[in-house]
Structure 1
Amino acid sequence: MTGEDAAGRGVERPAASDLVLARIVREESARVVAALTASTRNLDVAEEATADAVEEALREWRRRGVPPRPGGWLMQAARHNALDRLRRDKVYRGKLALLPEAVPAGEAEPDERLPLLFGCCHPALAPEAQLALTLRAVLGVTAAQIARATLEPEATVRQRLSRAKRKMAAAGIPLRIPEPSQRVDRLDIVLTIVSVMYDAAHLAAGADASADRDLADDALWLSGVIADALPGEAEAAGLHALLLLHRAREPARAVDGALVLLADQDRSRWDAGLLARGRVELDRAAALRAPGRWQLQAAIAACHCDAVRIEDTDWRQMLVLYDMLLGYDRSPIVRLNRAVVLAEVAGPAPALAEVDALGARLEQHHLWHAVRARMLRDLGRVDDALAADLRALELTANEAERRLLAARLTR
């Protein structure tokens, strides 16, 4: 099916079955990969068999329509693909009998997404490998798509995935949810990777301010999967609340590809439904009485969302929340964000002192210079502010941020 774009050129429109398949891949592919990996002890076989099944579905569903149980169809097709691969390799023939049969109609599919996610985010793997594996195995993102999201060559991503999967096999990394006594640190790694995934959808080098909606929505969806699967984990609910609140502000944050600062955003464009869901999720986390960094970040975001105008923002409450957050996370970016709030409460002079104290760790980060420039300007140090803005511009790769900084320089 074709249509026309704004320039009158023919463009391909997705078939209705393609839209269903996109949803099924998000919801079911991780279950399929996890089930096949648990049986074959080979993530490569499971992942490739599932990817082939998705390609088959793309062709078959266009021709014959979406089957009654699309998730079961995908599992059965992937199982057949895995069988074919294993039959061709005598090393794995002994595992053929272990492959799961398709779940009979009416029975629930076991949810193996969380064990797979914890396996991909095992601490034995480097953070960049954890992110790539999560995107590939849990969300079905291709190596080319990962490369675009992480701004790396596709060959680098493929090598990273191969090394990570070999390490998983050699180290015998299990696909299972850790016991409660070991879960806190492991869960924080998982939540961090999902947060990094969400951040990677925004402000890519060379791009404008528009987010990669698919990647951002995948991260938001995955945070919801974790929160629902682990209802007793307050931090899981905290991250889900945080991403809901961030996503709610997205329509006002980027307008026609231009970045709009919080103070200048049209708050009527914020998504009221997502804001309400974020507040409910934050309340659910608070009721568990197990505070942590993700809940505190969500509470800070809620302070912004609760203000009808920027002038109504409860900066003192936000500063209290940041002081609490420092008990869980003393990273320089958290401290830089706290300094911005401190400037609203106590003025630019003490805030600038806090910012300058972070110079050794953030001197190569454009945001440090941009924040510092704003405080210098508020103190009347115009020349120093200009120099800081120029340095921020030099360090910024995103086109929307570059335009914003360049506009500041012309004032």
Structure 2
Amino acid sequence: MSPIEAELTRIVRANSGQILSALIKTTQDFSLAQDALQDAIAQALTQWADDGVPKNGGAWLYTSARRRAIDRIRKEQRHHADTTQQILTDLLDDQPDIAEWEQDIPDERLRLIFTCCHPALNMDAQVALTLRTLGGLSVREIARAFLASETTIGQRITRAKQKIKSAKIPYEIPEQEDIQARRDGVLKTIYLIFNESYTAYEGQSLTREDLANEAIRLGAILQKLDPNPETSGLLCLMRLTHARRAARQDADGNFVPLEKQDRTLWDHDEISDAHAQLLTTFTKGQFGPFQIQAAISALHCLAESWQETDWQQIYALYGALAAYDPSPIIQLNQAVALANMGGLNKALEQLNTLAAELAHYQPFYAARADILSRTGQEKLAQNDYDKAIELSQNQVEKRFLFQMKSALAASLKKNK
């Protein structure tokens, strides 16, 4: 990749969401806006090689893309319709009075976020469309991140855009009375993107860092455009979690559980900054599940060691979280906290009540295997490790679970 291509890639990633949101506001057409931006990027590749990178590359791309949108409307001879004529008029009226590389790009990203995450679209479509338009990721990048084919991701995006058009989903920020419910959907979409990066369900790696960074960037954009305690809570949660990423695998690529991680590898500046943001958020007094999860993550991050972790407070926070979401996964995490407080038998009783609901959930068997081994029930623990290994699709996690089972078997053999 040439220096010009590398710089153009950086500028596109940083500005595409704002450029597309401004174009979509005027054209009301996702495909037209994206095609116009692609035309502008192609033009930049050749023109910047001769003229150099402009001072404001994002504004240059916006101006070029707007002109390309005008050209496309005219060439398709649709401008005779009243609505299309109005679009042309709006685009033509939006001519800069100053040099194109100095103009500002209208910021309509908040409208775009709420449109991409409209409840009429299914969650897969919301994620793909959000990453494509706001994140500026290519179809290939999205497909690679979610381990899907480019065809599948392309079809999701196409269907989402068609749904927006056919259902006449308005390109707007919801009314105040609807914004809370719609915001929750946006936050869930961003968190799903982050979780996909962090769990890396399949493959040879535990973290897809580019996807994690993109989720954090989207969270920061939303918090800037629509400040809200829960949005801030989600942003803090993602930052605190991501700050520990360097310690999750050793030099040989093996998974390192939290209790054995080298905490000097954590990004403590990021942890300190995110924790300060979280404390400021708490002063608003408007608590919610993302803030509680961020508080749990902060307790892990701030502990000097695994042994000094405040498990009692973590247990209480999971209880508070269960009031918002009484899911079996929350109860599983609370049981693990109870076990780490010393209540192994009680924790095991709680886990056993969740067995039916979590029968196909790999972390359930991994957690129960650990607690069974700590209560001296090694054979039962081996059975649960087998089930966890069977359910795991990530090769790094699978290898770790196999190592835990092998160590347990070796211990049993030694003690015979």
Residue 38 of structure 1 is aligned with which of 12, 25, 33? 25
Q: Aligned ranges for residues 56-135 of structure 1 at < 5 Å?
A: 56-91=43-78, 93-94=84-85, 95-99=87-91, 101=94, 103=96, 104=98, 108-135=104-131
Query: Where do 5+ consecutive residues of structure 1 fail to align?
Result: 1-13
Return 97-106 or 293-302, whichever deviates more: 97-106
Distance 1:314 1:254 in 2: 24
Per-residue CA distance 1:77-122 (angstroms, 9 max, x = gap): 2112212221232335523222263554566433111110111001
Contact 1:396 1:402 in 2 (8 A): yes
Contact 2:13 2:137 in 1 (8 A): no
User: SS of the counterpart of 1:111?
Assistant: coil
Contact 2:296 2:317 in 1 (8 A): yes
Is residue 2:211 matched to residue 1:215? yes
Paired letter, 1:47: Q
Which residue of structure 2 aligns with residue 324 of structure 1? 320
Distance 1:88 1:359 in 2: 62
Return 354-363 or 190-199, whichever deviates more: 354-363
Per-residue CA distance 1:132-159 (angstroms, 9 max, x = gap): 1101111111112211112222211111
Which residue of structure 1 aligns with residue 411 of structure 2? none
Per-residue CA distance 1:311-346 (angstroms, 9 max, x = gap): 110001111111111111223322221221121125
Cα shift at 1:206: 4.5
Per-residue CA distance 1:193-230 (angstroms, 9 max, x = gap): 11111122234354233522221111111111111222
Q: Aligned ranges for residues 285-296 of structure 1 at < 5 Å?
A: 285-296=281-292
Which residue of structure 2 aligns with residue 261 of structure 1? 257
Cα shift at 1:45: 0.7
Is residue 2:389 matched to residue 1:399? no
Contact 1:352 1:375 in 2 (8 A): yes
User: SS of the counterpart of 1:139?
Assistant: coil
RMSD of aligned alpha carbons: 1.9
Distance 2:334 2:5 in 1: 45
- TM-score of the pair, normalised by structure 1: 0.91
Between Structure 1 and Structure 2, how many residues are aligned?
397
Distance 2:46 2:394 in 1: 37
Cα shift at 1:62: 4.1
Query: Where do 5+ consecutive residues of structure 2 fail to align?
Result: 408-416
Distance 2:269 2:5 in 1: 27
Percent of aligned positions with the same letter in both sequences? 37
Which residue of structure 1 aligns with residue 410 of structure 2? none
Contact 1:15 1:62 in 2 (8 A): no
Q: Aligned ranges for residues 209-288 of structure 1 at < 5 Å?
A: 209-231=205-227, 233-256=228-251, 257-288=253-284
Distance 2:66 2:335 in 1: 54
Structure number, greater radius of gyration? 2
Distance 2:238 2:143 in 1: 23
Which residue of structure 1 aligns with residue 7 of structure 2? 20
Cα shift at 1:59: 4.2
User: SS of the counterpart of 2:396?
Assistant: helix
Paired letter, 2:286: A
Per-residue CA distance 1:8-33 (angstroms, 9 max, x = gap): xxxxxx44444433332233211111
Which residue of structure 1 aligns with residue 358 of structure 2? 362
Cα shift at 1:307: 0.4
Cα shift at 1:354: 2.1
Paired letter, 2:66: R
CA 1:109–1:76 in 2, change beyond 3 Å: closer, same or farther? closer
